[in-house]
């Protein structure tokens, strides 16, 4: 008999692992057998729970699980002792020993770091694996293509005990003209390096959007992130990915609020009629955008219930006057797939004046994750 884990909070993030698997299979099929996939699960798997979704992605055969920081990589390494992990961001010199000790592939863009990695690798009698970052105009990490950087990369490739496995860049995604300029700059620089004897197993520049919209930018590796979770940022191509996340809660208390009375801080919302107002046990500390006051809504018993008054840290209120048979404990859908009228991640992003990744990545660990799958439950 399977033990049922007690649910300690009504506010939960429900993650559909089957949808993540389906999305990943769509991406891999689109990329083709000649292109490797680096699945980006930084920021706790874009709010979905990196450790819990990793086995699904591994089952789909992704080449790498990619994160942004050493701490994210070490969390995964503790659970998955041998699966290839990649750090997309910068790791300070004092912490590079962890990278070598734990067999994590590291982004580098300086000879000094490569030499330090080589020295550490020699001491541990194992290789240090790296990908070199090239700045083609994004101006975040890496160095701009130049004769000096080409010289430096050639020296990096010659460092003992360092395996230069790949080279990569990132698109700013300004427009097609700028994208093409960055891509050509990257390709031309790689050609210079290869002509000088440098070899790169993997070359990559395409994120989720570029992977769908610009097939030739896929090179021989792609880095989907948001796409895995069903976030559709593409504009030219199309892939029928599905949102994998549902955010839900339950009504904690009901209030009868007479016409003219206010709700929450500063009484910025006042009832225009005799109303029933529900207290919902989630707030901005659960990642819900505070600026969705008087714009956001939840779905209760199939009815749209507007969020009213200032959103608190741990709670917020919704006008449920029009919800039939409303009762304490009734489910309220915060984010859903939209088919039941619920607010999608895309709609939440538009109302909050941000992007979809911000909405899902800002959901902290506080709301417990519940994973559903026909293969597991």
Sheet holding 275-280, edge to edge: 253-257, 275-280, 316-319, 303-308, 297-300, 331-335, 245-250, 12-16, 369-372
Q: Which of 19, 42, 133, 356 is catalytic?
A: 42
Residue 325: predicted pLDDT: 96
Residue 377: predicted pLDDT: 40
> Is 216 marked as binding a ligand?
no
> Is 293 marked as binding a ligand?
no
Angle in degrees, CA 214, 220, 222, rounded to 5: 60
Nearest CA among 11, 98, 7 for reference residue 364: 11
Pairing of strands 64-67, 85-87: parallel
- Quote the CA–CA distance of 105 and 357 in Å, as a whole number: 25
Q: Which helix (H) or strand (E) holds 163?
A: strand 162-168
Whether residues 58 and 175 fall in one domain:
yes
Whether residues 75 and 152 fall in one domain:
yes
Q: What is the dihedral of CA 51, 53, 58, 59, to 10 degrees?
A: 140
Would 237 be classed as within a structural domain?
A: no
Whether residues 270 and 359 fall in one domain:
yes
Residue 169: predicted pLDDT: 98
Whether residues 278 and 354 fall in one domain:
yes
Residue finishing a domain among 175, 201, 229: 229
171 and 187 Cβ atoms separated by less than 8 Å: no
Nearest CA among 333, 322, 316 for reference residue 276: 322
Would 5 be classed as within a structural domain?
A: no
Q: How many residues does the chain have?
A: 377
Residue 307: predicted pLDDT: 98
Average model confidence (pLDDT) across the chain: 96
Whether residues 309 and 162 fall in one domain:
no
Query: Does residue 214 carry a catalytic annotation?
Result: no
Whether residues 224 and 341 fall in one domain:
no
Whether residues 61 and 199 fall in one domain:
yes
Would 331 be classed as within a structural domain?
A: yes
Q: Where are the alpha helices (DSSP H) in the chain?
A: 17-31, 42-46, 50-59, 70-79, 96-101, 111-124, 147-157, 176-195, 208-213, 345-352, 356-361
Write the DSSP symbol of residue 103.
T
Tell me the whole-structure pTM to 2 decimals.
0.94
Alpha carbon separation from 151 to 112, 145, 169 (Å, rounded): 13, 10, 18
Would 324 be classed as within a structural domain?
A: yes
Whether residues 175 and 45 fall in one domain:
yes
Handedness of CA 185, 178, 170, 148 (dihedral sign): positive
Residue 3: predicted pLDDT: 47
Tell me the CATH number at 149.
Answer: 3.20.20.10
Q: pLDDT truncated to tens, each residue of the chain (377 aa)?
A: 344 567 899 999 999 999 999 999 999 999 999 999 999 999 999 999 999 999 999 999 999 999 999 999 999 999 999 999 999 999 999 999 999 999 999 999 999 999 999 999 999 999 999 999 999 999 999 999 999 999 999 999 999 999 999 999 999 999 999 999 999 999 999 999 999 999 999 999 999 999 999 999 999 999 999 999 999 988 899 999 999 999 999 999 999 999 999 999 999 999 999 999 999 999 999 999 999 999 999 999 999 999 999 999 999 999 999 999 999 999 999 999 999 999 999 999 999 999 999 999 999 999 999 999 987 54
What does the DSSP assignment read for 254-267?
EEEE-TT-EESGGG
Whether residues 284 and 319 fall in one domain:
yes
Query: Does residue 90 carry a catalytic annotation?
Result: no
Whether residues 50 and 149 fall in one domain:
yes
231 and 357 Cβ atoms separated by less than 8 Å: yes
- Quote the CA–CA distance of 75 and 220 in Å, as a whole number: 28
For residue 215, with 0-12 CB atoms within 10 Å meaning exposed, 13-18 middle and 19 or more buried, which class applies?
middle
Q: In terms of residue numbers, what domain contains 294? A: 245-372
The total number of structural domains in the chain stands at 2
Look up tokens 């000879």; give the residue: 111
- Helices 50-59 and 17-31 pack at an angle, to 10 degrees, of 50
Residue 376: predicted pLDDT: 55
Whether residues 218 and 355 fall in one domain:
no
Tell me the CATH number at 342.
Answer: 2.40.37.10
Would 3 be classed as within a structural domain?
A: no
Whether residues 187 and 327 fall in one domain:
no
E strand spans, 295-346: 297-300, 303-308, 316-319, 331-335
Residue finishing a domain among 229, 264, 291: 229
For residue 41, with 0-12 CB atoms within 10 Å meaning exposed, 13-18 middle and 19 or more buried, which class applies?
buried
Would 320 be classed as within a structural domain?
A: yes
Q: Which of 59, 259, 265, 267 is catalytic?
A: 265
């Amino acid at each position: 008999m399977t033990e049922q884990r007690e649910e300690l909070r009504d506010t939960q993030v429900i993650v559909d692992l089957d949808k993540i698997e389906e999305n990943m299979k769509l991406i891999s099929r689109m990329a083709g057998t000649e292109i490797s996939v680096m699945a980006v699960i930084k920021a706790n798997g874009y709010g979905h729970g990196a450790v819990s979704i990793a086995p699904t992605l591994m089952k789909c055969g992704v080449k790498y699980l990619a994160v942004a920081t050493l701490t994210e990589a070490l969390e995964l390494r503790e659970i998955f002792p041998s699966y290839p992990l990649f750090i997309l961001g910068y790791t300070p010199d004092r912490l590079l020993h962890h990278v070598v000790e734990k067999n994590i592939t590291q982004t580098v863009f300086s000879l000094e770091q490569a030499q330090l990695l080589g020295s550490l690798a020699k001491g541990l009698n194992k290789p240090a694996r790296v990908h070199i970052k090239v700045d083609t105009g994004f101006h975040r990490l890496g160095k701009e293509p130049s004769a000096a950087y080409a010289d430096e990369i050639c020296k990096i490739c010659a460092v003992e005990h360092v395996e230069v496995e790949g080279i990569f860049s990132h698109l700013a995604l300004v427009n097609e003209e700028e994208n093409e300029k960055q891509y050509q700059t990257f390709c031309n620089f790689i050609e210079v390096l290869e002509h000088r004897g440098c070899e790169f197993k993997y070359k990559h520049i395409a994120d989720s959007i570029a992977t769908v919209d610009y097939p030739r930018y896929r090179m021989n590796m792609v880095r989907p992130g948001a796409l895995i979770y069903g976030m559709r940022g593409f504009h030219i191509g199309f892939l029928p990915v599905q949102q994998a996340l549902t955010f839900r809660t339950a009504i904690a208390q009901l209030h009868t609020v007479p016409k003219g009375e206010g709700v929450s801080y500063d009484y910025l919302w006042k009832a225009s009629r005799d109303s029933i107002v529900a207290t919902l046990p989630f707030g901005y500390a659960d990642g819900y955008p505070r600026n969705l006051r008087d714009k956001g809504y939840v779905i209760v018993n199939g009815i749209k219930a507007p969020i009213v008054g200032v959103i608190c840290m741990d709670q917020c209120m919704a006008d449920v006057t029009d919800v039939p048979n409303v009762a304490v404990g009734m489910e309220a859908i915060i984010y859903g797939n939209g088919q039941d009228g619920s607010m999608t991640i895309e709609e939440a992003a538009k109302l909050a004046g941000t992007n979809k990744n911000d909405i899902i990545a800002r959901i902290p660990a506080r709301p417990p994750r519940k994973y559903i799958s026909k293969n597991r439950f």
